[in-house]
Chains A and B, each alone.
Chain A
Amino acid sequence: MKVAFTTSGITLDAPMDTRFGRAPKFLIYDMETGGFEVIDNEQNLNAPQGAGIQAAQTVSRTGTACLVTGHCGPKAFKVLQAADVAVYTTDAATVAEALDLFRAGTLSRAQSPDVEGHWA
């Protein structure tokens, strides 16, 4: 199973980015092999609108089953839900910490978006 994390870095000890749509990168972690890849989301940083929608498409195309991020707005949530990507929110400081929490089963699955659209 693949799990996506929003981050500004390219390693497991990189900081989490609390934003989803405008996170600079997604770290896609493979729970079975322990390997990961990093996907760029830079083109979304300056999108005039719909960054969350784009980001949700990008993440869903990687075959990710779960997304761990800081916050998720309504449009992104709608796309993720349609693509069967489960959303988990956390305030963990680094990807590694968020991964530990996810693995331990302490993160709860979001049933709805937790912020309004255009949350910065």
Chain B
Amino acid sequence: MIIAVASGKGGTGKTTVSLNLAKVARRDVQLLDCDVEEPNAHLFLKGALQSREEVSVPVPEADDSLCDGCGECSSFCRYNALATIDKGVLTFPELCHGCGGCIRVCPNKALTETGHRIGVIETFRTGNITLIHGCLDVGIAMAPPLIRAVKSRLREGATAILDAPPGTSCPVVTTIRDVDMVLLVTEPTPFGLHDLKLAVDMIGELKIPCGVVINRVGVGDGRVHAFCRERNLPVLLEIPDDRQIAESYSRGELIVDALPEYRPHFEGLLDRVLGFNKTAGSDCHAYL
């Protein structure tokens, strides 16, 4: 089963939930940190680095001796990654999405594919957890190809937890597309509610079953809870606004290790998630 942990708002606790879920799993689990612009799960696991691979996207390279400046390639490219001037063609690899269309439409076979590095994938191993994360190079603006490369490491049939980037844009959609369920982490504040609504709408479009984790319960107001009731969104875990949790986080420790009293709650969450299906309704609320 593939579970994605997402949120509209940043800083609600996606990584905290992902890590603690992975830690209480009773068998091997893959943890994919898909927040490739700012991966941070490795800071909490301290696993041994097992491998490091470069990731490139295919971009066109022009042979000026074959190009007659016809402009087929640049008029085909919707990302404006090529420019045709009368002397030939210029390429802008940083704008290229790697579709390969320009190479196909070139009547003179003047374009060939070459690799443009966008980042690395690193794999760490500790205990039952294999952590795979993508790390986008500085200056690269396109996260989705690297996220897809990270997801290509998913082992068939294995339990996997995908820590998504925040928001509701392409990197998030790339992460959660094709997963079995999404856990939306939010907080009971007006910001949390606003961005939860956006995330719920996005997931509705993608037709993926989802449940909610409400973090820092005790701050804010009751509107997130009311929204979940209204929309029939199952609240699968509530984590209280406990200073000890923040303290253990600041030391780079997992809640289930530093504060064992919370362990059963994350085990319960994992059980509910693994037993989750589309028909699950509001009756599977669980309160801490």
Contacts and interface: CB of A to CB of B under 8 A. Distances in A.
Interface of A: 47-51, 53-54, 56-57, 60, 75, 78-79, 82-83
B86 A50 contact: no
B95 A60 contact: no
A47 B85 CA distance: 20
Interface string B54-69: 0000000000000000
B86 A47 contact: no
Given A54-B83, A82-B90, 7 more contacts: A49-B80, A50-B92, A53-B90, A53-B92, A57-B85, A79-B85, A79-B90
Given A47-B80, A57-B74, A75 B86 contact: no
Interface in B77-95: 79-81, 83-87, 90, 92, 95
Dominant SS at the A interface?
helix
Interface residues of B, number: 12
The 4 A-B residue pairs whose C-beta atoms are closest, nearest first, are: A50-B80, A83-B85, A79-B83, A53-B80
Contacts of B80: 47, 49-51, 53-54
Interface of B: 74, 79-81, 83-87, 90, 92, 95
Nearest to B89: A82
A16 B125 CA distance: 60
Given A57-B85, A60-B85, A79-B85, A49 B90 contact: no
B68 to A, nearest CB: 15
Most interface-central of A50, A75, A79, A82 (chain B CB within 10 A): A50
B99 to A, nearest CB: 14
Contacts of A48: 79
B90 A78 contact: yes
Contacts of B74: 57
Contacts of B85: 57, 60, 79, 82-83
Max chain A CB contacts within 10 Å: which of B84, B90, B95? Answer: B90
A56 B95 contact: no
23 contacts: A47-B80, A48-B79, A49-B80, A50-B92, A50-B95, A51-B80, A53-B90, A53-B92, A53-B95, A54-B83, A56-B83, A57-B83, A57-B84, A60-B85, A60-B86, A75-B92, A78-B90, A79-B83, A79-B90, A82-B85, A82-B87, A82-B90, A83-B86
B84 to A, nearest CB: 6
Nearest to A85: B85
Nearest to B78: A48
